[in-house]
């Protein structure tokens, strides 16, 4: 659809007409011949007068009649003849083609980056403002495409200026379509990255970090603002008191205890938790880095729905094992919580740059295909 509109609403006849050879030649003309065409158009042609035939008047310099071999019976006429430009088929400038690639890509990159930024995390209404502002720009491009189409139909249809008006209509139409695609794709990519990656990173980063915490003496109310915890050496999980709760998924919890020489805590407020990593009764607890030597870190779990189900699992453990939990806090048992949370941010940035590169390459390919088709159409 993009290429058909880019060709002025006419069929491009790709089958058997637009080949890879033609595409490579179009790329060569875009990159290498465009400066030469500009010089020949703005320097050489302006110095020569427009030839006037004694009988036919003003002549089209690209007409088959207009050549050095034509004998019009006048030496003065032949002296004013110059060769037609070899690059006259370059109907769209390199700058216009570059804008068709870079402007939609800039919309995609800016919108997806803005939606996953810290400003939108702190003020969610800014995300709606960004989308509305970008949609306004896309709407302006659509209006410009409609206006250029009307101008082409009124002034360019059937006249000598038809290619010029058709070029404007095709360029604005391609820009509007690519910008609309960039708006939709940027909104989706930015929202997914913000929800799945950056939100967890910002949540944990806004909380404090604690080091060398002894689970035997620490109470939950003392660590309510904890996001990352490194527990004291020898800390582990008491898998004999693991418990689970069923609610569309298995919510597993196990108390975090101190070293073997430490007394049992008065209240079990620190819990390792996870989903779908234990049996229905809490046995076979494998959540996080369980069983890995040296693991004694905790990364806070802040999902409210999960927190509610984890609390129900803790209540089951209180009833089953006759223990007490006043302010239960839930953590992902890990080796290095700082590296874990940094990995979330790095993964989000990697996905962001990968999607930007993919969008840029797709936009470049579509523009080259549309340019080759449009050039083929205007050549006829």
Summarize pLDDT for 276-303 with one digit per residue, the tens: 899 888 888 999 888 888 889 999 998 8
How would residue 44 be classed by pLDDT, with cut points 50, 70 and 90?
very low
More confident: 38 or 180: 180
Domain-wise residue ranges, the chain = 2-47+91-202+363-379, 208-335
Q: Which residues of 16-49 are buried (b: 16+ CB within 10 A; e: fewer)?
A: eebeeeebeebeebbeebbeebeebeeeeeeeee
Of 248, 329, 236, which is closest to residue 285 (Cα–Cα)? 236
Answer whether 26's CB lies under 8 Å from 368's CB: yes
Supply the pTM of this predicted model. 0.68
Q: What are phi and psi of 332, to 5 degrees?
A: -85, 120
Q: Note the pLDDT tens digit of each residue in 149-188.
A: 777 666 655 544 455 556 777 788 889 999 999 999 999 9
| Segment (H or E) for 333 | strand 329-334
């Amino acid at each position: 659809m993009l290429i058909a509109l880019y060709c002025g609403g006419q069929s491009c006849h790709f089958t058997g007409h637009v080949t890879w050879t033609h595409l490579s030649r179009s790329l060569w003309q875009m990159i290498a011949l465009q400066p030469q065409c500009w010089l020949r158009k703005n320097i050489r042609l302006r110095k020569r007068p427009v030839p006037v035939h004694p009988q036919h008047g003003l002549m089209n310099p690209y007409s088959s009649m207009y050549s050095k071999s034509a004998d019009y019976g006048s030496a003065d006429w032949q002296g004013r003849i110059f060769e037609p430009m070899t690059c006259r088929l370059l109907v769209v400038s390199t700058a216009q083609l570059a804008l068709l690639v870079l402007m939609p890509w800039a919309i995609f990159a800016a919108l997806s980056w803005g939606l996953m930024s810290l400003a939108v995390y702190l003020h969610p209404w800014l995300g709606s403002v960004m989308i509305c502002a970008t949609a306004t720009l896309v709407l302006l491009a659509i209006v410009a495409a409609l206006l250029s189409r009307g101008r082409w139909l009124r002034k360019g249809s059937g006249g000598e200026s038809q290619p010029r008006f058709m070029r404007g209509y095709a360029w604005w139409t391609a820009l509007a379509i690519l910008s609309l695609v960039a708006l939709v794709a940027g909104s989706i990519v930015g929202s997914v990255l913000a929800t799945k990656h950056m939100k967890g990173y910002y949540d944990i980063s806004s909380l404090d970090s604690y080091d060398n915490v002894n689970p035997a003496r620490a109470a939950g109310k003392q660590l309510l603002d904890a996001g990352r915890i490194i527990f004291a050496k020898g800390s582990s999980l008491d898998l004999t008191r693991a418990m689970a709760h069923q609610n569309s998924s298995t919510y597993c919890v196990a108390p975090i205890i101190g070293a073997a020489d430490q007394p049992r805590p008065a209240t079990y407020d620190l819990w390792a938790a996870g989903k779908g990593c234990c049996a229905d009764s809490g046995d076979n607890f494998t959540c996080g880095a369980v069983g890995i030597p040296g693991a004694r870190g905790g990364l806070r779990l802040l999902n409210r729905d999960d927190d509610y189900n984890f609390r129900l699992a803790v209540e089951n453990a209180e009833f089953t094992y006759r223990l007490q939990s006043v302010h239960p806090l839930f953590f992902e048992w890990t080796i290095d919580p700082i590296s874990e949370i940094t990995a979330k941010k790095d993964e989000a940035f990697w996905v962001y740059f990968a999607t930007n590169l993919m969008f840029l390459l797709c936009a470049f390919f579509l523009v080259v295909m549309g340019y080759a088709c449009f050039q083929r159409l205007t050549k006829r």
